[in-house]
Chain A
Amino acid sequence: MNKYILYPGCSMESSGKAYGESINTILEPLDLHFEEIDDWNCCGATEYLGINLIPAYSLIARNLALASKQMNGTRTVVAPCSACYLNLAKADYYMQERPSLGVKVNEALEAGGLSYVPGTLDVRHLIDVLVHDVGVDAIQKAVVRPLHGLKVAPYMGCMLPRPDYQHRWTDHEHPTELDDLLRALGADVIDYPLTTECCGGHMTQIGPETAFELIMRLVADADERGAHLMATVCPMCQMNIDAYQNEMNHFFKTDYHMPILFFTQLMGLAFGKEPGEVGIGTELVSARNALAHIGIEVPVTHEPAAPRKKDEGLPMPRRWTKQEGKEAVK
């Protein structure tokens, strides 16, 4: 059994819940064991670094310090979220590149009775572990329901293949790891040159027009190339393209409907799990029609009610007509 230390990240319990759920379904078939870091905290995303340097790195380093206490036959920390992965990897790398940063961070950690020697751990993203440790062949062997005929746009996002401090990827701008993995599942992987373009990151919150433009490019290109859905490795990308697609459509007066699923959800499906088990149905741009192409039926869950028409006014108790009243009395 392959053991790893897991840093889940905040979104795994909220907006990226489907990611967390689907990861749990692929561990057993691949003989993986993840042990969560006890009492981990937020990595600060892309926000804390721009406020105050040493606190930002100390926040990240608390997780590294806690993880280094849990090294039980493994020194690899797995982060499924690209932003978490980058922050943890960056802190570890910069504390080595600039030892004075490591000294200051450890001074801060000491206030909480912790310490971390830079370089102790090996921080890696989930897909890196799946493709490079488990291997595409082993993944292919676990497939019981190949996704033949499902056209998938492989979307890697930016924070995973870049800046790539440890040189793990085939390329910084056109890496093929996600393509290989999806192909092993039997999916029909389309050529998607925008695979590492940005989803807008936090711009959906602070400069929506910039973000909508970026989301539009990704969605329009996937649509033009005939993708049924997009596959992502990052909760931030999923959130931006899924939850803001409707608002983006309003903004550009377009009508795109491009579902985006986590690659682990597709893995779960290919491993024979039911859609509900891998969190399908929690996306706002429904993947139902896309999955119907390969005969996977997604049960209807709570669909939000159709918006009322303007002239309907407020819902009022219906008045009985005289005729109806007479019938009721009978």
Chain B
Amino acid sequence: MPQMTDERVRARLREEDLSLLHEVSMKTAGVSHLEMCIQCGTCGGSCPSAMDMEHTPRMLFAMLRAGMRDEVLRSNTPWLCVSCYHCVVRCPQEVHIADVMYTLKSMAIQAKLYSDSTAPHFSQTFVDMVETFGRSFEFGLASRHYLRHFPLRLPGMLPMGFGMITKGRMAITPKKIKHMDQLKSILKRASQLELTS
């Protein structure tokens, strides 16, 4: 057993530290029920992308309870969540698992603790487009994202992109909402707020 773990266990014996679990639960929209996890593993067993995850959701929640902040935020698990909500409807404790995953993503971005930047960059690019135009802009998003992360996929994607454009399914110029200034001031104010209670 590595020294560090040993010391952490001793610390746990002195005073159970559930601050990480509470922090995540608090930052999650709705009432997360995260504290109620009974480690049954239904979530991992229901997950369509569990095969590619470093930790199943069950493991991740145990790690939160154990205060393993770095390991949790570095895990690829939240980034592989496809938001299919299979686990959410099957969880006997009604934990808002998908929403906890969203919280973990935002915490990992804030702490800059992710191992693969593809997913965070994609989310950020999407959000940039929305914050600029008020609407999603698929052509801008796809071209920027693929050039940055999948340049080798581009040649194979060309027929698809060409088909989407010629069939009128992808505009090469963005659409903008009328009251962009209103949306910008809402988002600016929102970014200064945090969910604390």
Contacts and interface: CB of A to CB of B under 8 A. Distances in A.
Interface of A: 10-11, 13-18, 39-42, 44-55, 57-59, 62, 90, 93-94, 97-98, 100-101, 104-105, 107-114, 158-159, 162-164, 172-173, 197-198, 200-203, 205-210, 214, 243-244, 246-247, 250, 281-282, 284, 302, 304, 307
On chain B, which size bracket covers the interface? 35 or more
Given A172-B89, A246-B159, A53 B106 contact: yes
B126 A201 contact: no
B88 A58 contact: no
Question: DSSP class of B's interface residues: helix, strand, loop or mixed?
Answer: helix
B1 interface: no
A21 to B, nearest CB: 10
Contacts of B80: 203, 207, 210
B48 A105 contact: no
Contacts of A247: 156-157, 160
A162 B136 contact: no
Contacts of A198: 48, 82, 84, 86
Contacts of B189: 58, 107-108, 110-111
B179 A45 contact: no
Contacts of A54: 190-191, 193-195
A97 B33 CA distance: 12
Interface of B: 27, 29-31, 48-49, 52, 78-80, 82-86, 88-89, 98-99, 101-103, 105-106, 109, 118-119, 122-124, 126-127, 130, 134-136, 138, 142, 145, 149-150, 153, 156-157, 159-160, 162-164, 166-171, 175, 177-179, 182-183, 185-191, 193-197
Contacts of A250: 156
Contacts of A52: 106, 190-191
A109 B186 contact: yes
30 contacts: A10-B175, A15-B170, A41-B135, A50-B78, A50-B105, A53-B29, A53-B195, A54-B193, A54-B194, A54-B195, A55-B190, A59-B190, A62-B182, A90-B29, A98-B31, A100-B197, A108-B187, A111-B186, A112-B186, A114-B182, A163-B89, A173-B86, A201-B82, A202-B122, A203-B80, A207-B79, A207-B119, A210-B82, A244-B160, A304-B162
